[in-house]
A and B are shown apart, each in its own frame.
Chain A
Amino acid sequence: MGFLRVILVDMLEIQEPVSVWVFFEKASIKPHIFFWHGRKIKIEKINLVHTSKDGSHIFYHFSCSSGGNFYRLKFDVGRMKWFLEMVEEE
C-alpha cells in the first residue's frame, strides 16, 4: 500500500510497488518499462542513478524521464522489490 505526500507544487512522493521490466547489461541494471495504474510507461532516459542505505538495506534510485514526465523508481536490493517513489507529470 503506498502513501502520498506532496513535496513540491507538482511533484508527488509515493511509495507504490510496481512491476518493472529491466535490462541487465555491463554490470548495471536498467529499468526499461514499468506498469502503473493500468499504464505501461516506457522509460526514455535514465537521468541519474544513486544509492541509499537504511541500516544494511541498500536501495537503488533511478531518476527517469518519459514523455516529458519525471519518475523516480526505487529498487530494494534486499527484498528484490521495485517501487515508484516520485512522480511529476504534465
Chain B
Amino acid sequence: MVSGDGRRRIRTILHVDFNSYFATVEQQANPRLRGKPIGVTGGDRMPASPDERASRGGERTVIGAASVEAKKFGVKTGMQIWEAKKLCPQITIVPGDSDKYLETTKKFLNILKDYSPYLEVFSIDEVFLEIPTSVIPANAGIQLNNSANSLLDPRLRGDDILEIAKSIKKRIKTEIGEWITCSIGISYNKLLAKLAGSLQKPDGLVIIANQKEAIKVLDKLELDAVCGIGPGIKNRLNKLGIFNFKQLREATLDILIFYFKSYGQFLYDCSRGINHAPIFPFYEKEEVKSIGHRHTTSHDTNNLEEIKQLLLKLTELVARRLRAKKLVGRTVHCWFRYSFHLRGEEMQLHLGGVFHGDGMQVTIPYTCDGLEIFKATWKIFHTIWNGDKIRTVGVSISNLKSETPQNLSLLPESAVQEKIIQAIDQINNKYGEFTLQRGILLGTGEMKRKPNPFLADRRFKL
C-alpha cells in the first residue's frame, strides 16, 4: 500500500454480492414463493418429451440459481432439474426471466453510483465499489479510527464506512424490494473485500480492516476460498505440500514463480493479504473478445435439418450482435454436447455430471455476415460430429476488430447483400428478432438471447 514516491495510498473497497440473486428476485416479484425452496432455470426451455420425463423424472434444463431455502437441501447452480428434485422433492421450478434480472441490476447500480463513480460491475450480481480515498505522506502516522488497528482512510471513520454499507442495504430494500438481500465485504483491496463478503451469507456485513486481520482470516480458510485460486491451482499447490495459506507464505517468491510463472506473484501476494488490482469503472469501455450463443434443444436430436436450422439461428444471432457493436470477427468456434444416452448405454451419472462432446475452431476472412459464419460452423460440425444425438450446441466468434468501411466491391452482389442485411437489421430492431428471417427457419421455435451472467459484452447506461 506504499507507492513508489513514499506516499501511502489507502483504499476502501466494498464488495456487494446479492444472495441467490435470480431466485431472490423471483421471490421478490411473487411473495407466494418466499420462504420456499425454488430453482430458477434457463428460461424459455421447452419441457422434455414424456419418455424423457418418465426416464429421468424431470425437465432437461439446469438450475441457474437456487434459493437460500433450496440450498439447504444441497441444491446447487448447474444441477439438472431431476437431480434437484431428488434432493428436494418440494422444490418449485421457476423459468428464468433475464429482462427482470438485468433491470434489477440496473436499479442497484443506479443506487451504488450515488456513493462513488468507481464502480466495477464484476457480474450480474456482484459489484466492487471504491470509496474515494486520500493519498497521505508515508510518515504521517495512521490515525486509528473507531475500528481498532484500521488501515482504512483515516478521514473516513469506521462508523462512516459501516453507515455507507448499511445505507446501501437499506436503499436496496426500499428502492428495489424488501426481500432482496446482499452481503457486503469491506477491506483495503478487491481480493479481501470479496473474501469478506463471502464469509457471511445471506445478508452479511464483514470488514477485514488490516493485514493482520486478513492473515488471521486467511489462515482459517481453504486455499480455493479466495477468488483467483481454483481447484486446479489448489491441487498443484497440494502436490507441492502446500495445503493452507500459512504454508503458502512459507514458500519463497522464487519457488512460486518457478512453478507458476507470473501467477506465482499473485499467490505470494494473496497469502499476505496483498492485492493491487484496480477498479475497472463501468463507464470505461472494455474490449469484447468474443461473441457467442448456445442452445439446449428441447429433445436430443441427430436430425441434420433440425441441427442446421438451429445453427443458422445461432449464427444469425452472433452476426446481429457483431453488427450492433460494429465489429467483425474471423475465428469461428463450434461446439456441442452429446445426449446422456450414447448408443443405448446409459452413462453413470452423479450429481453435477459432466457432458461429453466436442468442439473445433477455424479462421475465415473477417466477417459479420451470418451466412459466412454459418458456412464455417457447418463445416466444423460435419468434421467432428459422429452422428450421435446431441442436446446442446454453441457457436462463437473471436479475433474481433472494428468494422471498417468496405472498399467498393467490383461485384455488385456484395453491395446488394450488404444493403439487404442492413434492411433486415433495421426491421428486426424495430419489430423483434427474426421478424425477417431465412426461409429455412420458418416454423422453428423462438430463441431468445439470454444474458451472459458475467456481462462480458453488455455495458450499462446509467
Contact = CB atoms under 8 A, between A and B. Distances in A.
Interface residues of B, number: 23
A51 B32 contact: no
Contacts of B431: 54-57
Given A8-B92, A8-B94, A55 B32 contact: no
A7 B95 contact: yes
B171 interface: no
Given A8-B94, A70-B31, A88-B30, A50 B99 contact: yes
B28 A65 contact: no
A54 B430 CA distance: 8
A48 B100 contact: yes
B445 interface: no
Contacts of A56: 429-431
Contacts of B88: none
A63 interface: yes
A9 B428 CA distance: 35
Contacts of A53: 99
Given A55-B435, A70-B31, A47 B177 contact: yes
Nearest to B177: A48
B187 interface: no
A52 B100 CA distance: 8
Where chain A touches its partner, the secondary structure class is strand
Contact of B432 (A8, A57, A63): A57
A38 interface: no
Interface in B99-137: 99-100, 103-104
Interface in A34-76: 45, 47-57, 61, 63, 65, 68-70, 72
B314 interface: no
A47 to B, nearest CB: 5
B318 interface: no
B25 interface: yes
Given A48-B28, A48-B177, A55 B99 contact: no
Given A47-B29, A50-B104, A9 B92 contact: yes
A45 B28 CA distance: 11
For this complex, into which size category does the number of interface residues on chain A fall?
Answer: 20 to 34
A8 B32 contact: no
A50 B93 contact: no
Contacts of A51: 99, 103
A10 to B, nearest CB: 8
A12 B209 CA distance: 50
A53 B102 CA distance: 12
A48 B92 contact: no
B94 A50 contact: no
A63 B177 CA distance: 11
Given A48-B29, A65-B31, A68-B32, A54 B103 contact: no
B30 A47 contact: yes
Nearest to A49: B103
A21 to B, nearest CB: 22
Contact of A8 (B25, B31, B93, B99): B93
A70 B30 contact: yes
Nearest to B431: A55
Of B29, B99, B430, B431, chain A has the most CB atoms within 10 Å of the CB of: B29
Contacts of B32: 68-70, 88
Contacts of B432: 54-55, 57
A46 to B, nearest CB: 10
Contacts of A72: 29
A55 B30 CA distance: 27
Contacts of A63: 28-30
Given A56-B429, A70-B31, A88-B30, A50 B92 contact: no
B309 to A, nearest CB: 22
B31 A47 contact: yes
Of A45, A55, A68, A88, chain B has the most CB atoms within 10 Å of the CB of: A55
Contacts of A47: 28-31, 177
5 contacts: A47-B30, A48-B29, A55-B431, A57-B432, A70-B32
Given A52-B99, A69-B32, 17 more contacts: A9-B92, A45-B31, A47-B28, A47-B29, A47-B31, A50-B97, A50-B103, A50-B104, A53-B99, A55-B430, A55-B432, A56-B429, A56-B431, A61-B99, A65-B31, A68-B32, A70-B32
Q: Which 7 A-B pairs have the closest CB atoms?
A: A63-B29, A50-B103, A55-B432, A52-B99, A48-B29, A55-B431, A54-B432
